[in-house]
Structure 1
Amino acid sequence: MPFPYKTVLVTGATSGIGEALAERMIASGIFVIAVGRRQDRLDALVAKHGADKVAGEAFDVSDLDAISDWAKRITTKYPKLDSIVLNAGFQRTLDFTNPSSISLPTVNSELTTNYLSPLHTVAHFLPHLTSLGLDTPASVVFVSSLLSIVPLPRCANYCASKAAIHSLAWSLRSQLAGPASPSTHHIRVLEIMPPAVQTELHPQQADLASQGMASFGMPLDEYADETWAAMTNSTEEQDEIVPDAHKTRIAGLEDKRKEGFNGFVAAMRKQGAKF
């Protein structure tokens, strides 16, 4: 089974894609460490499934300075943790035609939550995942977006943050599987790339709500079922999980880039580069 992990931490697990995937993991017998800011929702999730199947850990992943101590606490409390799913994120409009409307603190927060937080989290959890040893499969799972490939002008900062995650996933996967790091070959890097999905992401944006677009996108359960089926497919292991309806289009855009990336990495290693 391509998703053999038994103890999985999921950020942004109190709503949307994070919660939906957590539910499916729990149903599959995986112990989930659900992470979110809303204690009441975490409590509800634990009450629904039982403390033997899920744990609720309240934490604000945008607090970069706190991630180091949090990672130590989590890995001490849950020493069998073998996968982290970095899903937390949010989206806001960025209107350059009306510069006075741009809230730079919001821009910073969006970039921090969507990109810097996953990067910091990976850095602080990698020592634990590495320590599990080559005989224990482990993984880092990023939730990016199809907007990482083709941006939408309305939410430019969100798209840029997801493009950064997409690039980070490629580099991290290459490094961990590379000849310079044999001790990390058991750590898989997976990227989930959603289209527009019916979650709280859109209703929270006043401009979308005013245009009647608060609930546009793929139904959440439909998306989560297809994504979980792909993650657990026993015949095909995928590094990037893309809905079937988008695979051909994305492949046409990405195949040449991947070929170029792999060729560049191979050439640099041939010249003696560590990575």
Structure 2
Amino acid sequence: MAGTAFITGATAGIGAACARRFVAAGWKVIVTGRRADRLDALVAELGADNVHAARFDMRDDAAIDHAVSTLPAGFADIDLLINNAGLALGTAPAQQADLAQWRQMIETNVTGLVTITHKLLPILIARKGGIINLSSVAATYPYTGGNVYGGTKAFVRQFSLGLRSDLHGTGVRVTSIEPGMVETEFTLIRTGSKAASDSLYGGVMPMTGEDIAETLLWVATQPAHLNFNTIELMPVSQSFAGFQVARDS
């Protein structure tokens, strides 16, 4: 099965990998993001017949409305929403964190995600389509410095389950994808430097954007009577951490 996929945050990493993988499988894709040059490059690479670019910031409601209402006829019938756009800013503990960064993560990872979902629900219901939300293992396993980022991903997971319940009987499928260590450009932003990123991922053999894109395509192309509520995946080299214990000196 192939159709039309709307992919947020497609200028790099998992989103860009999804655009390439879905087009290779015969899908049309709408790619969104803030960087026009990256979106234009995807259109040039994959072909204007296959890719439509819509540039907007996930925090801009009016821009989202405009992008959806002006979709070309060949891209207006959306069968799949991939809510990939999101960001993680800073690794400081809560008492040292930047409040502006916290708010930006909430506005992008939560408010932006629910806004685009709400906007596309009528189309997805009419077409008995699907929604794949990119959460994270941070939704389940807390870690130092994860604070608001982990909280936003826990929201995405629970929102996915709530959508699944609300959309019961419509034929719309909803999946929360919850990856562990994936090395992409996102990692550089998260850690703040290439040196920090290299230290975190050195010798790990982490997952790639292409690994996640392959998983999403598999979910999207399963028989229509199957729904995968949540999928948690990690590289083999990553497992579960122990509890922290503070001891009196």
Match of 1:15 in 2: 12
Match of 1:264 in 2: none
Among residues 36, 48, 52, which one is paired with 1:51 in the alignment?
48
CA distance in 2, matches of 1:206, 1:15: 17
Which range is displaced more, 191-200 or 232-241? 232-241
Per the alignment, in what secondary structure is the counterpart of residue 52 of structure 2? strand
Relative to structure 1, is the Cα distance of residues 83 and 75 closer, same or farther in structure 2, using a 3 angstrom cutoff?
A: farther
Tell me the CA shift for residue 143 of structure 1. 0.7
Match of 2:181 in 1: 196
Q: Aligned Cα RMSD in Å?
A: 2.8
Which range is displaced more, 30-39 or 73-82? 73-82
Moved over 6 A (4+): none
Relative to structure 1, is the Cα distance of residues 150 and 29 closer, same or farther in structure 2, using a 3 angstrom cutoff?
A: same
Which range is displaced more, 226-235 or 34-43? 226-235
Relative to structure 1, is the Cα distance of residues 141 and 160 closer, same or farther in structure 2, using a 3 angstrom cutoff?
A: same
Match of 2:213 in 1: 224
Partner AA of 1:220 in structure 2 = G
2:21 paired with 1:35: no
Match of 1:238 in 2: 228
CA distance in 2, matches of 1:114, 1:63: 13
Q: Residues 200-231 of structure 1: CA distance to partner in whole angstroms, max 9, x if unpaired?
A: 12112327844743646323334433453454
Q: Number of paired residues?
A: 233
Partner AA of 2:45 in structure 1 = K
Q: TM-score, normalised by structure 1?
A: 0.75
Relative to structure 1, is the Cα distance of residues 157 and 125 closer, same or farther in structure 2, using a 3 angstrom cutoff?
A: same
Relative to structure 1, is the Cα distance of residues 44 and 215 closer, same or farther in structure 2, using a 3 angstrom cutoff?
A: farther
| Contact 1:36 1:60 survives alignment (8 Å) | yes
CA distance in 1, matches of 2:195, 2:184: 13
| Contact 1:15 1:200 survives alignment (8 Å) | yes
2:199 paired with 1:213: yes
Match of 1:84 in 2: 81
CA distance in 2, matches of 1:206, 1:66: 29
Tell me the CA shift for residue 93 of structure 1. 2.5
Relative to structure 1, is the Cα distance of residues 64 and 229 closer, same or farther in structure 2, using a 3 angstrom cutoff?
A: same
Q: Residues 138-177 of structure 1: CA distance to partner in whole angstroms, max 9, x if unpaired?
A: 1122111111111222221110000001010011100110
Tell me the CA shift for residue 237 of structure 1. 4.8
Tell me the CA shift for residue 242 of structure 1. 2.9
CA distance in 2, matches of 1:8, 1:175: 22
2:109 paired with 1:117: no
| Contact 2:6 2:29 survives alignment (8 Å) | yes
| Contact 1:203 1:215 survives alignment (8 Å) | no
CA distance in 2, matches of 1:79, 1:98: 45
CA distance in 2, matches of 1:230, 1:71: 24
Among residues 149, 155, 170, which one is paired with 1:164 in the alignment?
155
